A and B are shown apart, each in its own frame.
Chain A
Amino acid sequence: MKDMDEGYITEDGRKIGGVVMEMKNITLRFGGVVAIKDISFDIREGEVRAIIGPNGAGKSSMLNVISGFYVPQEGEVWFHGAARPKMRPYEVAQQGIARTFQNIALFEGMSVLDNVMTGRLTQMKAGLFSQAIWKGKAEAEETANREIAEKIIDFLEIQAIRKTPVGRLPYGLKKRVELARALAAEPKLLLLDEPMAGMNVEEKEDMSRFILDVNDEFGTTIALIEHDMGVVMDLSDRVVVMDYGKKIGDGTPDEVRNNQDVIDAYLGVAHD
């Protein structure tokens, strides 16, 4: 399956395209601590790719490498067929990568709509003066961007809280708003850091539905980290399993589920 450069067809009949991003022998150290050790894998266009592993396996570090926040000491990140140089976060965003955070990072005092609109900032080109007097280009630009933001609000069914300050929302809804903000950037690659953490079953079901819908409706490539195994196995097309900074498995959920190393890592095994 992986040999095919043209991509593959998933079990449910979705067509997955070529490689969008490739991690080549990534090693990341913090001082003497090796967070990620010589890991390689790829993410293909249109797929839902999960990174799983026990606590401290290096999943979030991996996501931060993908998002360009951490620069690995060794190895290269290839994006759209070229090695990616060291970049600032906004440059990454302009490349079409958006993310959500494990512990929500929204502007609490601002309304949901305003938060979602911040996701459009990279697309706004009007100058400071034009924005200040609110004429011509700035106005037209805001209208166009508001339309996109509203479509996403509609898509994620958060119309009723459009004008509510984010600080007043319950946790599950905040997560959804964060997803909305990431989507507002119209990303090609969406990174989700534990999108279901701390949710109840109903909220998890809703969120899973939205993630699948995003992938289906916008064709967005999604890379996610998640603890809930049921969710991961249901959502993802391919899974990378990490343990102590190393890759111990990579494949479809079924392949990974039957991989002895993965079972050992999760269930524990006697070290001799």
Chain B
Amino acid sequence: MGRKDKLVQMQTGADGLLSIPALLERNVEKFGKSPAYREKEFGIWQSWSWIETSKEVEALALGLINLGVSEGDFIAVIGRNRPYLYWSIVAAQMVGAVPVPMYHDANAEEMAFVMGHCGARFAIVADQEQVDKVIEVQDQLHQFEHLIYLDPRGLRKYDHSHLHEFTHVQDQGRAAHDEFIEDLKARRAKLDYDSTCVMLYTSGTTGRPKGVVLSNRNIIETAKSSSEFDDLRRGDEVLAYLPMAWVGDFIFSIGQAYWTGFCVNCPESAETLMADLREIGPTYYFAPPRVFETQLTSVMIRMEDAGKLKKRMFDYYMEHARKVGMDILDGNPVGVWDRWKYSLGNLFVYGPLKNMLGFSRVRVGYTAGEAIGPEIFSFYRSLGINLKQLYGQTEATVFITAQPDGQVRADTVGVTCPGVELRIADSGEVFYRSPGVFVEYFNNPESTADTKDSEGWVATGDAGFIEESSGHLRIIDRAKDVGKMASGAMFAPKYVENKLKFYPDILEAVVFGNGRENCVAFINIDLTAVGNWAERNNIAYASYQELAGHPRVLDTIQEHVEAVNQSVAEDSMLSGCQIHRFVVLHKELDADDGEMTRTRKVRRRIVEEKFADIIGALYDGSSQISTVTEVTYEDGRKGSISATLDIRDAALVAVTQKMAAE
């Protein structure tokens, strides 16, 4: 294809397909009978072909018109990943409305903010839990009209004047087919490349969530180029389990799925996820680092409990995999003997392990959202799983950089994706420009102007640099989190936190030290890993708090902190970030308490304010601190926990030699 043709295509849309509903139509024509969605329900994988999907979506779209949805309306979609909710998104687009997927675990207040901000008139939700939340905040939402739910359970007695069951809406749509079909066709025909495809609210590490408006151009261009980048194809399988409100899920389960026509599989429930993963065996898999960490932790725990022979085999072959596995995966030269040993390992350990994890068929796996611990990353890659990193954000429709096959490393995030331009500002902040760049923040021109300049360059808010030897981008930390210590040395908390979090015992860590003499850390233990260890060592505990404060747990954590100090000291740029003192927190940092975002990123500033007394104690040299913390329970009630926490000093590694060299 010549350059001129490409230009034409950019203007008219990829092959004249200007919207998701148009892609749906194409898929029905081209491969209508192949599976589009699967969901496990009643113990069986139910599936829908593209033809069936299109019928379901159309019935719903007609039903929505019947309910009075007009073009430009906002429709909130709230619930776990289910085919019905994906159809709702497409049906909303079809009638000219804007779908707004929301986090299903958001509390009523957060929900009220988002729905009030976009002025949603309709909501399509999963079940009674979500219905209750919407009803709770309904009074604050004067524009709100109709609520549609999927699962009728427990809702029979509710007032149904503005409440509708999903299937009824579809039935009414089918019944009114002749009346509304022309209207629907007209609305669908009006969708063009610049009409809004979806609005996604950012999780908001700082302040209120912002509504990111993404156009059909953003979604389809990105889906197209990224599918080509990784050679995604129709026969691929993905498991849709990440929050529907997250841009990643939208691009994988709608953008790329509709572009390439692969099948989206929805798990039965959150608890059955691992079993469902194994049954489906996805070929294209995406997970934030935390999921890989959790899986690695559970593998390690189970190996601790395994018999001697199995344990020794596991250790022996994993050692070998660490040595040659990544080279084999990348196609680098590896000796015949090592290859033979690796294939034996594959037979005895790697194969069965991958099968257990549901990764036997993974052709392309991605992790993003946060930096992944290098050890976790190489664990999966050495098993022969093609796990890669990508760097992106909602405002870019995910893709900024990604790692091409064969050029994968733990400490970089890859080269620019097709169509993306990258620029590093003098401050170190990373800027990008691409067809995926968002249209605007909804109703927020100031923030839009702050983030995106007139030439279309977008500030990522991350500090990084392009490695000269490889041309890969390396991200150091959030630009606003990178600071200077009192001594003038660079302070990059995430770098140290990630090293800490590699230990299965440590779930979360927050390092402080900006503008200070030295660094201190908060640590959350991982209840699964530490609980299992306690069980094996006959340590009795009654609560999370008690376990977290146990002296032997503190000893273990201290060992980890000191090992991290050792490794931090080796990096000449960041050796000042060694941890002098630390405390193991008495509660898990939680999104319900505002300490984390719904995508589980730590809100540093809030944590700093909330636990100011503990930070004070870490710096003033005291060995204990009594504190009272407010907590929010899942049902929204508030309570408080009080605790006396031990503060420990960690041994440091001298870096005099390097200091002298500077």
**A74: chain B residues within 8 A (beta carbon):** none
A158-171 interface code vs B (CB 8 A; 1 in, 0 out): 01101000000000
Indicate if A12 sits at the interface (CB-CB under 8 A).
Answer: yes
Task: Tell me the nearest residue of chain A to B271, going by C-beta.
Answer: A160
Task: Tell me the nearest residue of chain B to A153, going by C-beta.
Answer: B43
Contacts A147-B42, A150-B43 known; A216 to B269 CB distance under 8 Å? no
Indicate if A125 sits at the interface (CB-CB under 8 A).
Answer: no
Query: B154: which of A151, A162, A216 is its contact (CB, 8 Å)?
Result: A216
Indicate if A206 sits at the interface (CB-CB under 8 A).
Answer: no
Indicate if A31 sits at the interface (CB-CB under 8 A).
Answer: no
Indicate if A157 sits at the interface (CB-CB under 8 A).
Answer: yes
**A91: chain B residues within 8 A (beta carbon):** none
Instruction: For the complex, give the distance between the alpha carbons of A216 and B157 in Å.
Output: 9
Indicate if B628 sits at the interface (CB-CB under 8 A).
Answer: no
**Which residues of A145-191 are within 8 A (CB) of B?**
146-147, 150-151, 153-155, 157, 159-160, 162
Indicate if B571 sits at the interface (CB-CB under 8 A).
Answer: no
A129 to chain B, nearest CB (A): 28
| Interface of chain B: mostly helix, strand, loop or mixed | loop
Instruction: For the complex, give the distance between the alpha carbons of A113 and B44 in Å.
Output: 13
Q: Decide if B275 touches A154 in the complex (CB within 8 Å).
A: no
**A154: chain B residues within 8 A (beta carbon):** 41-42
Indicate if B638 sits at the interface (CB-CB under 8 A).
Answer: no
**A108: chain B residues within 8 A (beta carbon):** none
A82-125 interface code vs B (CB 8 A; 1 in, 0 out): 00000000000000000000000000000001000000000000
**B272: chain A residues within 8 A (beta carbon):** 159-160
Instruction: For the complex, give the distance between the alpha carbons of A167 and B272 in Å.
Output: 19
B15 to chain A, nearest CB (A): 41
Indicate if A255 sits at the interface (CB-CB under 8 A).
Answer: no
**A13: chain B residues within 8 A (beta carbon):** 157
B37-70 interface code vs A (CB 8 A; 1 in, 0 out): 0000111100000000000000000000000000
Task: Tell me the nearest residue of chain A to B151, going by C-beta.
Answer: A154
**A209: chain B residues within 8 A (beta carbon):** 154
**A213: chain B residues within 8 A (beta carbon):** 153-154
| Interface of chain A: mostly helix, strand, loop or mixed | helix
**A264: chain B residues within 8 A (beta carbon):** none
Indicate if A217 sits at the interface (CB-CB under 8 A).
Answer: yes
Instruction: For the complex, give the distance between the alpha carbons of A85 and B275 in Å.
Output: 49
Indicate if B308 sits at the interface (CB-CB under 8 A).
Answer: no
Instruction: For the complex, give the distance between the alpha carbons of A153 and B271 in Å.
Output: 13
Q: Which of B42, B153, B269, B271 has the most CB of A within 10 A?
A: B42
Instruction: For the complex, give the distance between the alpha carbons of A157 and B41 in Å.
Output: 11
Indicate if B249 sits at the interface (CB-CB under 8 A).
Answer: no
Task: Tell me the nearest residue of chain A to B40, going by C-beta.
Answer: A159
Total interface residues in chain B, CB < 8 Å: 13
**A160: chain B residues within 8 A (beta carbon):** 269, 271-272, 275
**B154: chain A residues within 8 A (beta carbon):** 209, 213, 216
Instruction: For the complex, give the distance between the alpha carbons of A162 and B276 in Å.
Output: 12
B305 to chain A, nearest CB (A): 14
**Which residues of B141-178 are within 8 A (CB) of A?**
153-154, 156-157
A205-240 interface code vs B (CB 8 A; 1 in, 0 out): 000010001001100000000000000000000000
Indicate if B268 sits at the interface (CB-CB under 8 A).
Answer: yes
Q: Which of B43, B153, B269, B271 has the most CB of A within 10 A?
A: B43
**A155: chain B residues within 8 A (beta carbon):** 153
B126 to chain A, nearest CB (A): 14
Instruction: For the complex, give the distance between the alpha carbons of A154 and B156 in Å.
Output: 18
**B157: chain A residues within 8 A (beta carbon):** 12-13, 216
Q: Decide if A159 touches B269 in the complex (CB within 8 Å).
A: yes
Instruction: For the complex, give the distance between the alpha carbons of A160 and B40 in Å.
Output: 12
B73 to chain A, nearest CB (A): 33
**B43: chain A residues within 8 A (beta carbon):** 113, 146, 150, 153, 159, 162
Task: Tell me the nearest residue of chain A to B41, going by C-beta.
Answer: A154
Instruction: For the complex, give the distance between the alpha carbons of A155 and B43 in Å.
Output: 12
Q: Decide if A217 touches B153 in the complex (CB within 8 Å).
A: yes
B82-118 interface code vs A (CB 8 A; 1 in, 0 out): 0000000000000000000000000000000000000
Task: Tell me the nearest residue of chain B to A152, going by C-beta.
Answer: B42
Task: Tell me the nearest residue of chain B to A157, going by C-beta.
Answer: B269
**B269: chain A residues within 8 A (beta carbon):** 157, 159-160
Q: Decide if A159 touches B156 in the complex (CB within 8 Å).
A: no
B118-156 interface code vs A (CB 8 A; 1 in, 0 out): 000000000000000000000000000000000001101
Task: Tell me the nearest residue of chain A to B635, going by C-beta.
Answer: A205
Contacts A147-B42, A151-B42, A159-B269 known; A216 to B275 CB distance under 8 Å? no
Instruction: For the complex, give the distance between the alpha carbons of A151 and B44 in Å.
Output: 11
Instruction: For the complex, give the distance between the alpha carbons of A13 and B159 in Å.
Output: 12
A125-153 interface code vs B (CB 8 A; 1 in, 0 out): 00000000000000000000011001101
Instruction: For the complex, give the distance between the alpha carbons of A162 and B40 in Å.
Output: 13
Instruction: For the complex, give the distance between the alpha carbons of A146 and B271 in Å.
Output: 21
Task: Tell me the nearest residue of chain A to B43, going by C-beta.
Answer: A150
Instruction: For the complex, give the distance between the alpha carbons of A216 and B154 in Å.
Output: 7
**B41: chain A residues within 8 A (beta carbon):** 154
Instruction: For the complex, give the distance between the alpha carbons of A150 and B268 in Å.
Output: 12
Q: Decide if A159 touches B271 in the complex (CB within 8 Å).
A: yes
**Which residues of A31-60 are within 8 A (CB) of B?**
none
Task: Tell me the nearest residue of chain B to A213, going by C-beta.
Answer: B154
B198 to chain A, nearest CB (A): 30
Instruction: For the complex, give the distance between the alpha carbons of A266 and B277 in Å.
Output: 53
A247-269 interface code vs B (CB 8 A; 1 in, 0 out): 00000000000000000000000
Instruction: Tell me the B residues contacting A by CB distance below 8 Å.
Output: 41-44, 153-154, 156-157, 268-269, 271-272, 275
> What are 29 residue pairs bridging A and B, where the CB atoms are less than 8 Å apart in the complex?
A12-B157, A13-B157, A113-B43, A146-B43, A147-B42, A150-B42, A150-B44, A151-B42, A153-B42, A153-B43, A154-B41, A154-B42, A155-B153, A157-B269, A159-B43, A159-B269, A159-B271, A159-B272, A160-B271, A160-B272, A160-B275, A162-B43, A209-B154, A213-B153, A213-B154, A216-B154, A216-B156, A216-B157, A217-B153
Closest 4 CB pairs of A and B: A160-B271, A150-B42, A150-B43, A160-B272
5 new A-B contacts at CB < 8 Å, known A146-B43, A150-B43, A216-B154: A12-B157, A157-B269, A159-B269, A159-B271, A216-B157
